[in-house]
Amino acid sequence: MNERRGVTNERRGVTNENDEFTNEIEAFMNESGPLTYIKKGCVEIAASSNLLKDIMVNITLAI
């Protein structure tokens, strides 16, 4: 039982290191810009999609 706990704790340690590495990558991406542009692009696409839906509804109602 104790040996298994040790292995589990070691694995948790590795997971924590991976999480820290992932956080570093995300921080770098946010600083350097690409992720920010992607987020802005997704927001713009969503906004234009909603605008298009509104236009289509208005056209349908007009007809």
**Domain parsing of the chain, residue ranges:** 1-32, 33-63
Residue with the larger pLDDT of the pair 22 and 9: 22
Task: Report the distance separating Cα 45 and Cα 49, nearest Å.
Answer: 6
Q: pLDDT at position 32, please?
A: 57
pLDDT one-digit tens code per residue, 22-60: 777 677 666 656 666 666 667 777 777 788 888 888 877
Task: Report the distance separating Cα 22 and Cα 38, nearest Å.
Answer: 18
- Please compute the mean of the pLDDT values over residues 1-30 and round it to a whole number: 59
For the cut 70, the answer to whether the pLDDT of residue 16 exceeds it is no
